[in-house]
Structure 1
Amino acid sequence: MTAARTARERVRAELTREITDIARRQLATEGAGGLSLRAVAREMGMVSSAIYRYFPSRDDLLTALIIDAYNAIGEAVEQADATADPTDHLGRWLTLCHAVRDWALAHPHEYALLYGSPVPGYQAPETTVEAAVRDAAVFSRVVADAYAAGAIAPPPIAPDPPASLAGDAEIVRSLMAGVPDLIVFRALTAWTGLFGWVSFELFGQFNNVLTDRATAFDVAVRNLAGQMGLGQ
């Protein structure tokens, strides 16, 4: 009985992987809004009713793709940090930023699923949160480690964070426990700047604006580090 169940589990895992692989290809041609379980079933040679045993709705399939993508970018960032000198906090920040950009350029449609236009009618469930914070957790460790080492201090002209931050950004603040709100807020601003820059490049806003985008990106994320107070 156990062997039979294990065999069924393997078959289910293989079919689930095939479904998500086809769905990722659909993202490239139809976009997230055009994702269709029926189209996936047709490509697999399955009847529509069969695919619903794996993903009861389009939203369930979207959620699986989102979790996979968050885990992929999180893993890329974790692996990048593992190669960096843990005492070189600016170097770690730069390494992680380049890992985000490299992953986005290699997986543009998955990046767009995470950071592009919201899918009409879709609301991401709580089950996506754990995967979604993997990369943020690594960036937060860089900030927390830099603060503990005395290697991060916002410039004197840095304005105070909004008073509302005391009750906001709970996930970010929990990841940077012990770090003052001023640095947390500036780190959140730098984080936003990083993804804004990547999104501008990926979605074409830099067309006819920047040619040497790799060099421009490096300068940009160094500027973001400086505005955060890292490497001053």
Structure 2
Amino acid sequence: MSRRARIHEQTRQEIKTVAHRLMAEQGTSALSLGAVARALDITPQAIYHYYANRDELITTLLVDAYHNLAAALAEASQRHPDADYATRLLVTSLAYRAWAVDHPIDFLLMFGNPIPLYSAPVEQTAPAAQRVFVEFLTLLQAAHDAHLLRIDAPPSAIAAWVAPPPHFDTAASQVDPAVAYIAVVSWATIHGLVMLELTNHMQPTLTNLGSIYQHECLRLLASIGLTPSAIS
């Protein structure tokens, strides 16, 4: 990479860093290229050499966030034996919350705070978003193939509830309808807990939220017939 290209990329990274700070301080709705330019002490015109408009910057932040979360989930899962699906699902679920707590601005950008007049370009954000669910889907499908999943809902109900055929543009593209159902409902549970924590709707009624979250993850896994090994 040439010196000019390195400087260009470094400035793009600085712009993203400042954008994160502005969102943390003022909320996502306050994000603008003008505000970023002022924070960096550069002219508003200069910033357009790096991002064509505010929406391109937001999309870049979104895609980065999805990829970073997906990488954290994969790293957590891969620390455990391949066939230990229950434990891998548990640590992946715990990593989901841990990443959200460590990166609340990114997490809420992905799933929470709407940005006025911004519409995410699906062709860019959807593949990145689907990466987040690769570990969950792959592990649940593998557990299902190994006849380890307990599925309480009758096939007729699942057929009525799951849009055929369930398709995910991931390594787990061939997902059984029952697995698709379990995956989405399970994600709704863990994601709901994380979102309520990040938006302070569980506090102060509940404390020790990490412990509560792990308990609920274990309860969720037990409901589908999976018992993880002890984790440190």
Q: TM-score, normalised by structure 1?
A: 0.89
Which residue of structure 1 aligns with residue 168 of structure 2? 171
Aligned length: 227
Q: Which of 158, 174, 198 is the equivalent residue of 1:161?
A: 158
Q: Which of 125, 128, 131 is the equivalent residue of 1:128?
A: 125
CA distance in 1 between partners of 2:46 and 2:84 (Å): 52
Q: Per-residue displacement from partner, 1:31-81 (whole Å, max 9, x unpaired)?
A: 111101111111212110110121111111100111111111111101111
Structure 2 CA distance for partners of 1:227 and 1:184, relative to 1, 3 Å: farther
Matches within 5 A, 1:62-211: 62-125=58-121, 126-155=123-152, 160-161=157-158, 163=160, 165-167=162-164, 169-171=166-168, 175=172, 177=174, 179-211=175-207
Matches within 5 A, 1:3-22: 6-22=2-18
What code does the residue aligned with 2:5 have? E
Normalized per residue, the structure richer in helix is 1
Contact 2:137 2:172 in 1 (8 A): yes
CA distance in 2 between partners of 1:61 and 1:41 (Å): 13
Structure 2 CA distance for partners of 1:41 and 1:168, relative to 1, 3 Å: farther
1:120: how far off?
Answer: 2.2
Contact 1:144 1:176 in 2 (8 A): no
Q: TM-score, normalised by structure 2?
A: 0.89
What is the alpha-carbon root mean square deviation over aligned residues?
Answer: 2.2
Secondary structure at the aligned position of 2:158 is classed as coil
CA distance in 1 between partners of 2:153 and 2:190 (Å): 23
1:220: how far off?
Answer: 0.9
Gaps of 5+ in 1: none
1:86: how far off?
Answer: 1.6
Contact 1:92 1:142 in 2 (8 A): yes
Contact 2:28 2:113 in 1 (8 A): no
Contact 1:190 1:228 in 2 (8 A): no
Structure 2 CA distance for partners of 1:140 and 1:117, relative to 1, 3 Å: same
Structure 2 CA distance for partners of 1:229 and 1:118, relative to 1, 3 Å: farther
CA distance in 2 between partners of 1:191 and 1:55 (Å): 34
Secondary structure at the aligned position of 1:206 is classed as coil
CA distance in 1 between partners of 2:126 and 2:170 (Å): 15
Contact 1:141 1:175 in 2 (8 A): yes
Contact 1:183 1:228 in 2 (8 A): no
Secondary structure at the aligned position of 1:122 is classed as coil
